[in-house]
Amino acid sequence: MVHQKKKLVQEVSGWLRIHDDGSVDRTWTGPPEVKFMAEPVPPHEEFKEGVAIRDVTIDEKSGLKVRIYLPQLEPDYTDNNHNKLPIIVHFHGGGFCISQADWYMYYHIYSRLARSASAIVVSVYLRLAPEHRLPAAMDDGFSAVVWLRSLGRGHGSYEPWLNDYGDFNRVFLVGDSSGGNLVHQVAARAGHVDLSPVRLAGGIPIHPGFVRSVRSKSEMEQPESPFLTLDMVDSFLKLALPEGCTKDHPFTRPGGHAAPPLDGLNLPPFLLCVAESDLIRDTQMEYCEAMKEASKDLELLINPGVGHSFYLNKIAVDMDPHTAAQTTALIEGITEFIKKH
């Protein structure tokens, strides 16, 4: 029997390859010095640099998992509601097609946010396209919120880090890039459900993947980066959106004509984080304006002189003073938003 070598059908910016037999290879093939950022960090339940992490399966049937970051508590911590920690539900980016919650690029920034905001971070291992097209990732994100509700109500499962230290009345949704799309979609879905004792206190889309069919000015003028190229925007969304849909779909254009009217959504306060040099800055700002026109509670945080997901690039954070300063400003802005809600 002769085994034919499978043929490469599609490659996307060094991040993803699809073969003629339908198999998907997500091995990083770009510059090797960048590879460490896309490698998994093993969980460690002992505190390292002020944070402990563990992976938990929250749905045995589907295998859905989350990664929990617990910041080290102060010595004078006492177990009462006044000292409970806010909970951040995190949705990773990757254009719905790549990356995992345990990648180093998320570990380095979300362990830092857990310390800065004195918050427990629950990062969801989202299903990926093209094997699992949208709304799969959005269903996973919402399932994580429903799991928190079950913990808060004492139904079945018990997760000590969350049940003992987490404040279910202060749950924030945070997402990077395409994960920012999930912040909007999950918050919109949650607005029509009784989640008590869980209360969504805020949504924080960071450089969300909001786009449209017609190229924006920023897409045509801003420089590309390893974290976002036009090829990634086009190819990943073609693989991730429901078949036959365009980028004007509500998943990628929530303020567009095809989306449910924003003024009819029950949304918590939002902090929209935008990078001045982001390829898709213009469509993020269109979302900002649409939210304001719908009289939604939205704050805007703009980081000047940096591009898409700049804070995830550990090399730039360590080597470039401006990127380091803007990463600190972003963390501080998110921390302030969490503390006042």
Q: What is the pLDDT of residues 234-292, one digit of tens each?
A: 999 999 999 999 999 999 999 999 999 999 999 999 999 999 999 999 999 999 999 99
Q: What pLDDT is attached to residue 30? A: 87
pTM of the model: 0.96
Closest CA to 113 of 84, 167, 70: 70
Answer yes or no: are the C-beta atoms of 278 and 218 closer than 8 Å.
yes
In this predicted structure, the answer to whether residue 81 has a pLDDT above a threshold of 60 is no
State the catalytic residue, choosing from 207, 282, 308, 309. 308
Q: List the alpha helices (DSSP H) in the chain.
A: 104-117, 136-153, 160-165, 178-190, 217-221, 230-240, 281-293, 314-319, 321-340
Q: Classify 97 as helix, strand or coil.
A: coil
DSSP string, 49-87: TTEEEEEEEEETTTTEEEEEEEEPPPTT--SSGGGPEEE
Collapsing DSSP to helix, strand or coil, 99 comes out as coil
Question: Within the chain, how many helices (H) and strands (E) appear?
Answer: 9, 12
| pLDDT, tens digit (0-9, with 9 covering 90-100), for 137-182 | 999 999 999 999 999 999 878 999 999 999 999 999 999 999 999 9
Highest mean pLDDT among 74-88, 121-135, 149-163: 121-135
Which residues contact residue 245 at a Cβ distance below 8 angstroms, ignoring those fewer than 6 apart? none
308 as an active site residue: the answer is: yes
3-state secondary structure of 235: helix
Q: What is the pLDDT of residues 42-70, one digit of tens each?
A: 999 999 999 999 999 999 999 999 999 99
Q: Identify the residue with better confidence: 185 or 83.
A: 185
Give 78's pLDDT tier (boundaries 50, 70, 90): low
Placement of tokens 């003073």 in the chain:
321
pLDDT in tens, 213-230: 999 999 999 999 888 999
Burial class of residue 267 (count of CB atoms within 10 Å of its CB; 0-12, 13-18, 19+): buried
Higher pLDDT, residue 271 or 3: 271
Active-site position among 177, 225, 235, 309: 177
> Would residue 79 show up in a list of annotated catalytic residues for this protein?
no
Count of beta carbons in the 10 Å neighbourhood of residue 83? 14
Residue 15: CB atoms within 10 Å:
24
Residue 96 has pLDDT above 90, yes or no: yes
Q: Which of 13, 278, 282, 309 is catalytic?
A: 278
Percent of the chain with pLDDT over 90: 91
Q: Which two tokens stand for residue 118?
A: 């004195």
